[in-house]
C-alpha cells in the first residue's frame, strides 16, 4: 500500500486527535463513578481498538510486514491481516479527505488540549486529583 508523505502526516494528525479524545474520555472516569461509568469503559475499549487501524495503516506504509505486526500482538499473520487489511486500505483511502482539512485537525487538537487542561484543573479543584 502506497501512502504519500502528506497523507501520512494527515493520518498521524488524525491519530493524535483520536488519542486526545480518548484521553479526555478516560479523564471523565477519574471523577466519582456513576451509572454510566461501565458504559464509558466499554466505549474506551472500543476506541482503543479503533486506534489499531490507523497505526497499522502507518506501519504498513512505512514497510512493516503483516508478520512483524502479528508477532507484536501475539496472533497469526493471517488472523491480523483478515481482521485489519480492508479497514486499513479503507482508512488510507478516506484519509485523502482528511488531508484536505489539516487546518480543521490542527484546530481540533488545540481545542482538545485545552479541554484536557481544563478537566485536569477541575479534578484538582474538586479533590479528585492530587498532583
Does residue 129 register a pLDDT over 70? no
What is the maximum span of the chain, computed from C-alpha positions, in angstroms?
50
The predicted pLDDT at position 105 comes to 81
What CA–CA distance (Å, rounded) separates 56 from 68?
Answer: 11
| Higher-confidence position of 67 and 56 | 67
pLDDT in tens, 1-54: 566 787 788 888 888 988 999 999 998 888 778 888 999 999 999 999 888 888
What CA–CA distance (Å, rounded) separates 79 from 109?
Answer: 33
Domain spans of the chain, in order of start: 5-125
List of residues 6+ apart from 57 with CB closer than 8 A:
1, 3, 11, 88, 91, 92, 95
| Higher-confidence position of 94 and 122 | 122
Lowest-pLDDT choice from 22-31, 64-73, 81-90: 81-90
Does residue 99 register a pLDDT over 70? no
pTM of the model: 0.76
Amino acid at each position: 500500500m502506497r501512502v504519500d508523505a502528506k497523507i501520512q502526516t494527515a493520518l498521524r494528525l488524525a491519530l493524535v486527535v483520536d488519542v486526545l479524545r480518548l484521553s479526555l474520555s478516560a479523564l471523565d472516569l477519574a471523577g466519582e463513578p456513576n451509572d454510566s461509568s461501565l458504559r464509558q469503559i466499554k466505549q474506551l475499549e472500543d476506541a482503543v481498538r479503533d486506534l489499531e487501524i490507523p497505526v497499522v495503516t502507518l506501519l504498513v506504509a512505512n514497510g512493516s510486514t503483516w508478520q512483524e505486526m502479528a508477532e507484536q500482538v501475539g496472533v497469526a499473520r493471517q488472523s491480523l491481516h483478515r481482521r485489519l487489511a480492508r479497514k486499513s486500505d479503507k482508512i488510507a483511502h478516506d484519509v485523502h479527505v482528511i488531508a484536505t482539512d489539516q487546518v480543521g485537525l490542527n484546530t481540533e487538537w488545540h481545542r482538545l488540549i485545552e479541554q484536557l487542561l481544563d478537566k485536569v484543573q477541575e479534578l484538582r479543584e474538586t479533590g479528585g486529583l492530587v498532583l
